[in-house]
Amino acid sequence: MHSVNQVNAQLVTFKIDLLESAPYTLDQVLDKGDELLDSYQYDVAQKFIHRALEMNPDSVRALQMAATILLEAGDVESAKHCLGRAVAVEPETGHGKYFSLAQIFGGREALQLYQKGIEIAARTRDATKEEEKLREISRELSNGLCSVAELYMTDLCDEEEAERECEAAVFKATEADNANPEAWQTKARLCIVREQFEVSEHLKFYSIAPDCMFKRDCFRMRKNLRAEACLCGCPNSRPCARTSPAPLPPPLSTPSRSARCSTQLASPRPKC
């Protein structure tokens, strides 16, 4: 009787043999590689991606998938090479490779990569008509802008324009996807850095369910505002129950940063 591991090993061998013998198209090979990556079968996925690169060494999709596997293996330099090649092949399309490469770098280099990815993502969003795809690209654009804001709260916090650029990126992130919790959490982190703790608490409450109808009431930035209960599971077609105060979520941990960054962004303290 075969063990589960033996059966899995046999299946892997079968897949690889089939890959080498059957006349698969490039897209079919990459689709299978994607499926294996999603199921964390990196060793097998590597075979499919290697085969895809043999078929087309300049396949941007294959290069990005190769970078994913290399990063999982801790080979950062090789991953940089793959993503850099993908950028060289298609510099004006596909924002994902820029965002992935920016995560490897830091400081100004990362900022430039994020900015290029954001530019492409915004252009793609404006040309997209299909609703589901539009939501997806808007979320990715918003997340990219959040990453820019985080850079200005960490690596670039000593820059003269850090606070202004950080605030602008946060605003654009919430504008790009008003229902993105990460955008509101990033805004809350900016308020923490500015020591606007009460505003930060309201923003964290808002980020739990930004689609809720009465959130805009809870979100008003007034001095003595206290958030009221919002049953965020209710349909947006009817008002939320507001009968009793709702407990706020536990505070987010303050992002790691140097003391000078905290001081620099905390004073002066304009409204968040």
19-24, long-range: CB < 8 A, 24+ apart:
19/47, 19/48, 19/51, 20/51
Q: pTM of the entire structure?
A: 0.69
When pLDDT is cut at 50, 70 and 90, the band that residue 23 belongs to is: confident
Inform me whether the pLDDT recorded for 98 exceeds 60. Answer: yes
CB 117 within 8 A of CB 98: yes
Predicted pLDDT at 192: 85
Q: Which domains does the chain have, with CATH numbers?
A: 10-91 (1.25.40.10)
Q: List all residues 6 or more positions away from 150 whose beta carbon is below 8 Å from its beta carbon.
A: 186, 189, 255
Inform me whether the pLDDT recorded for 196 exceeds 50. Answer: yes
Predicted pLDDT at 137: 97
Work out the mean pLDDT of the chain and round it to a whole number.
75
When pLDDT is cut at 50, 70 and 90, the band that residue 195 belongs to is: confident
Amino acid at 23: P
pLDDT digits 0-9 by tens, 201-244: 656 555 555 554 334 333 333 333 333 333 333 333 333 333 33
Inform me whether the pLDDT recorded for 245 exceeds 80. Answer: no
For residue 225, the number of C-alpha atoms closer than 13 Å in the C-beta half-sphere is 20
